[in-house]
Amino acid sequence: MIKFDFDYYKPDTCKEAYELMCELKGVNLNAVYYAGGTELLSNFRKGKMTVDAVIDLKSIASLVGIEETDEFYIIGSATPLNTIIEYPGLESIALTIGQIADHTIRNALTIGGNICGRLPYREAALPLLALNVQVVVYDVNGKMTIDFRNIFDKRLKLEKNSFLVQIKIPKLINFKAFDLRNTEGIHVDYPIMHQYSTMKDNELFIVLSGYASFPIYEVFNLKQLKAEKSLEDIKVLIMNSFLEHAKEDERASVAYRQQLLCVSIDEMLHEFGGELID
Amino acid sequence: MIKISGYKEIKLSINHEDFLVLVKPNETLLRVIREKLGLTGPKSGCENGDCGACTVIVNDKPIKACLVLAVEMEGKSIITVEGLIDTEIQQTFVDHSGFQCGYCTAGFLVNSYALLETIPNANANDKVEWLSSNLCRCTGYEGIELAINAAQDLVKKRKEKL
């Protein structure tokens, strides 16, 4: 049971939604954008969060569903994860986001909600960071396309009242991916550590969720890695980039997370190793 | 743009029947179905999206009714466990003792029904993937698995006849 009242708005356009948010904030009302609602309603019920209004984005056509151009799959930010997972051609991100929550939840949980929510894991961001996709945001100037990596630093850093509209996944992209997710027990749980890595062009990209208090990533130049003497040297170099960020919580210690990382990096190097040693 | 502030009468289509119901924006679909419409099949378990006892089908997809607002559901087709009368999955849960205390049963029935209607040839991985959304605290999973496998044979036969 949600113990406080709020108003419910369902705008039809990005402009309406943005202007409404400005208007509500302008009179000191606490409003939030709303899509799948899975995280917000849970926080409302627990009393962790109260609002005066929710602005449901699901009637805005550009935010819901998947379109294709010659170059991109364009995913509306209010598209449920299962819609993305089941869409032919989006296998590059389906494996990773298919591990978030459970199947039924993923019929409601949206990709934008997962990225922009308060939970620190934001696992849908992992492949988007790795592939350095472009995203469309709506702000005071209207729609704007930005590189995802330029606006994601621990969380999505959007201008006041702005929101994520679309995610553009490039087609015909050739890369190797590595994905390893560790939970405390059953697989339907938050990750103690979720590593996603890609090797493409001249970069090895490694991003971690659950390991630190927020998703963290590093980009390694393949030529520099290949200059190392052995895979063990490469492993030490990679480990040193992440070691200090390991967090301690009730589910795992710093040392445990560092050991998980060590094992995970070993497995990744085993998969990618042949191309890292000349 | 739709704005709802305070009570509003909305029309919900549940089990192919329309209901007019007065709701506020802060009421979840689960609470409205149970407390205002008297359909007590969907259960209030964790109300946090973890247990799956509240699962209903919305536009052919299972969702957790505790994590969706009733005001979002206008114009959508909702199926609760009460709508599964005389289905294969209902009978096979009885035949194979697919329940113990029964609290999780409605959620398992609804999710299993949605699975078999969506993927009649669901393999073991599909079943684990879909049904991991539901918890049985009695750990009666063996009976549930037997019931789903038996229902799958019957659903496939029905669909082959079409």
pLDDT tens string A142-192: 999 999 999 999 999 999 999 999 999 999 778 889 999 999 988 899 999
Separation of alpha carbons A167 and A137, rounded Å? 9
pLDDT of residue A62: 97
Q: What is the mean pLDDT of residues B49-70?
A: 98
Q: Two tokens at A218? A: 């590093």
pLDDT score at B94: 96
Q: Identify the residue whose tokens are 């536009």.
A: B59
Residue A269 and residue A252: Cα distance in Å, rounded? 24
Tell me if B132 and A102 make a contact (CB, 8 A cut-off). Answer: yes
Half-sphere exposure of A205 (CA within 13 A, CB side): 20
* B contact test, residue of A13, A56, A59, A103 with most B CBs within 10 A: A103
- pLDDT tier at A277, thresholds 50, 70, 90: low
| Stronger pLDDT, A110 or A175, i.e. the higher one | A110
Which chain A residue has the Cα nearest residue B59? A107
pLDDT for position A151 = 96
**What gap in Å lies between CA B29 and CA B62, rounded to an integer?**
13
pLDDT top residue among B63 and A278: B63
Which residues on B lie below 8 Å from A4 (Cβ)?
Answer: 26
Minimum-distance CB partner of A6 among B25, B62, B133: B25
Q: What is the 3-state secondary structure (H, E, C) of chain A?
A: CCCCCCEEEECCCHHHHHHHHHHHHHCCCCEEEECCCHHHHHHHHHCCCCCCEEEECCCCHHHCCEEECCCEEEEECCCEHHHHHCCCCCHHHHHHHCCCCCCCHHHCCEHHHHHHCCCCCCCCHHHHHHCCCEEEEEECCEEEEEEHHHHEECEECCCCCCEEEEEEEECCCCCEEEEEEECCCCCCCCCCEEEEEEEECCEEEEEEECCCCCCEEEEEEHHHHHCCCCHHHHHHHHHHHHHHHCCCCCCCCHHHHHHHHHHHHHHHHHHHHHHCCC
The tokens for A36 are 């799948």
pLDDT (0 to 100) of residue B6: 96
Q: How confident is the model at residue A94 (pLDDT cuts 50, 70, 90)?
A: very high
Using the predicted structure, report yes or no on whether residue A263 has a pLDDT greater than 90: yes
Spatial separation of the C-alpha atoms in residues B138 and B16, rounded to whole Å: 32
Higher-confidence position of A132 and B117 = B117
pLDDT tens digits for range B75-124: 999 999 999 999 999 999 999 999 999 999 999 999 999 999 999 999 99
- Please report residues of A whose CB lies closer than 8 A to that of B46: none
Task: Say yes or no: A44 contacts chain B, CB-CB below 8 A.
Answer: yes
Window from A85-89, A91-95, A194-198, B38-42 with minimum mean pLDDT: A91-95
What mean pLDDT comes out for the span A216-227? 92
Q: Is the pLDDT of residue A275 over 80?
A: no
Distance from C-alpha of A235 to C-alpha of A233, rounded to nearest angstrom: 5
Distance CA A189, CA B129 (A): 13
Res. A228 pLDDT band, cuts 50 70 90 = confident
Residue A226 pLDDT > 90: no
Residue B80 CB neighbour total at 10 angstroms: 24
- Is residue B97 within 8 A of residue B15, CB to CB? The reply is no
In terms of Cα–Cα distance, which of A105, A71, A96, A112 is closest to A209? A96
Q: What is the mean pLDDT of chain B?
A: 97
Burial degree of A196 (CB within 10 A; 0-12, 13-18, 19+)? buried
pLDDT at A276: 73
Tens-place pLDDT, residues A33-49: 999 999 999 999 999 99
Task: Check CB contact under 8 Å for B48 and A188.
Answer: no
Q: Give the whole-angstrom CA distance, residue B43 versus residue A256.
A: 38
Distance CA B16, CA A95 (A): 36
Q: How far is B28 from chain A (nearest CA, A)?
A: 8
Instruction: Give the residue carrying structure tokens 């506020």.
Output: B24
- Residue B21 — pLDDT band, cuts 50, 70, 90? very high
